[in-house]
Chains A and B, each alone.
Chain A
């Protein structure tokens, strides 16, 4: 069962514009949410996270928004840069384990 879903397999944006990556989850027991970034031939690297007690967390160009009632989170990247081109995984954790979405491939065009 897919408890974490990223419905957009790919996203293409122009350099300097905003990238918005979306993620939905079904398990209300998840209390911590993360975004990982993955380049080809490398493992995922942690990007940003948010606790379920918050609705926004910002780190430089990256902001994660959490809507608990809708069981939805999003990652905003502004301004987008060509180096941001990668696969982005959404992950959600409860007390036991972490579940990952299938990923969204972001392409930022110069």
Chain B
């Protein structure tokens, strides 16, 4: 069984530029999560999808962040424009159902904003 796939693995951009991250969850996993992990901290949830529906986006900074999950499979997370404080690792995770506590994480995208 293939794991959660994320791309790119690393991204360096200048502030005010846009950036997008892509995630392909494990096949059959209906729930998809985007987390942000700052240095020395644990992952913090940005948005959670159940199939195509964003059921929890309360922590997503909606002025500059957007996400979509078309057809309930792949998902993209976009930042526009990026700020210096957005430098972090962006993790995607998936699970079988909404109450499936065991989330499977991708390797993450390390974003550096200069």
Contact = CB atoms under 8 A, between A and B. Distances in A.
Candidate in A32, A43, A96, A102 with the most chain B CB atoms within 10 angstroms: A43
Interface in A23-47: 32, 34, 36, 41-46
B101 A100 contact: no
B42 A43 contact: no
Interface residues of B, number: 20
B101 A32 contact: yes
A45 B105 contact: yes
B88 to A, nearest CB: 14
A97 B45 contact: yes
B42 A102 contact: yes
Binding site of B, secondary structure by majority: helix, strand, loop or mixed? loop
B42 A103 contact: yes
* Interface magnitude class on chain A: 20 to 34
Contacts of B108: 42-43
Interface in B88-109: 91, 93, 99, 101-108
Given A43-B4, A44-B43, A98 B101 contact: yes
Contacts of B106: 43
Binding site of A, secondary structure by majority: helix, strand, loop or mixed? strand
Nearest to B56: A97
A99 B35 CA distance: 11
B40 interface: yes
Interface string B1-45: 000100000000000000000000000000000000000111111
27 contacts: A9-B40, A34-B101, A36-B105, A41-B107, A42-B108, A43-B91, A43-B93, A43-B108, A44-B91, A44-B105, A45-B105, A46-B102, A46-B103, A49-B102, A89-B42, A89-B43, A91-B42, A93-B101, A95-B99, A96-B56, A97-B45, A97-B56, A100-B42, A100-B43, A101-B42, A103-B40, A103-B41
Interface of B: 4, 40-45, 48, 56, 91, 93, 99, 101-108
